[in-house]
Structures are given as structure tokens and as C-alpha cells.
Amino acid sequence: MRVGVSYFREDKLRPYLDAIGAAGLEPEPISPGRRRDLEGLRGLVLTGGGDVDPALYGAEPHALTKHVFPERDQLERELIEQAERMDLPILGICRGLQILNVARRGTLHQHVEGHRDLEHAVAPEPESKIAAFVGTEDYSVNSRHHQAVDRLGYGLIVTARAEDGIVEALEDPERRFLVAVQWHPEDRLATRDFRIFSAFAKAVLK
């Protein structure tokens, strides 16, 4: 089964393609310069990257907001809308979590300290999908972001937080599979993180 994989920089794409392929799916890269829709595809993965344009949630740019590409924001919002209309499984990773929240009319903290280029614990909420994947005990994740969820978008619930309260996972319990994590499971396929891709694949194959 083929699934769409949004991206902006081709040199950052390979880990996502490998993770999706390892889960038994065929990734179809989508970027502003390539294919732009989900026709014939069975799911959507939103990958990491630069900052979401704060204009989308009515904010002025922070001094440390950078690598903003409005064409990517527009494309991914269109893909999210299409995937939701088609009831396709959606998996968001790092920036993917952030654009999902903004697409649901949420907002972001444009800069937070202590979450870039390190590992830290997250606490999954019991009964959540992410807890089913990685367990309910504190789970160590690889963190490399400086933006984070502020006001939650409609229909979304927080399913994991870091020790400082930063949102680390979201899902929409009313959809068959809409899960997003703030860390990078594509880089840790030998850990329980691979279960995130396996669960996404299972939802795609239903």
C-alpha cells in the first residue's frame, strides 16, 4: 500500500522512507515541487523540518523563528484536509505534530528551551494510542525541536508530555488513526518507536 510522505528537504527524507518501508508500506514523497495530492494513496505521514509560519495562527515572528516556508505550510494543510476528508490514517512527526495542531486552529510556542539535540523522558497517558505503542511508564525520546504546542487545536487531545509540561504527543480519538509525536521515531527503529510505524501501517492496511 502506498502512503504520502510530505517533505521539503530531500536530504532529510531517507530515514522516513526507510521507516515506512520497514513497516511494510510504500512511501510516495510529496513536496511543493512534486506530486501535490493523495489520490490513490492510503495514508499520510507529515515529517519534520523548519518552523511553521506564525502568521497562520495570528502571531508575530519570534526572533528565533526561522526556516519558514509558506509553500510547505500551504501544501501540508491541503494534504491534512484531504486526508481527513478521505478518512486516511495520519501520522505526524515533530513539525508534523505542529502543523497538525495549527491546521486544527491551534497555536504554537515559537521557542522553548531544553528540547533540542538531547534525550528526555515523556509520560504517555494511559488508554492512549501512544501508550499502547511505547508503554505507560516514562519513556526516553530523542528531542530536537524548539517549537511546541501552545493552545490545542480542536478535536485533539494530549497523550504524552515531557517533565516540563511540553506536549509530546497528540491524537484525535474520534478518528481511526490520527497520531502525532514531537520526537523522531524514524531514527530509532530498534526501539519501541518502531511500533508507531507498525500501528500506522496496520491502520493503512485495514
State the catalytic residues.
94, 184, 186
What number of residues does the chain have?
206
140, 176 Cβ separation under 8 angstroms = no
91: left (phi over 0), alpha (psi -120 to 50) or beta: beta
CA–CA separation, 60 and 78 (whole Å): 23
Angle at which helix 95-103 crosses helix 70-86, to 10 degrees, equals 70
**Residue 30, amino acid:** I
169, 158 Cβ separation under 8 angstroms = yes
Which DSSP helix (H) or strand (E) runs through 199? Answer: helix 194-205
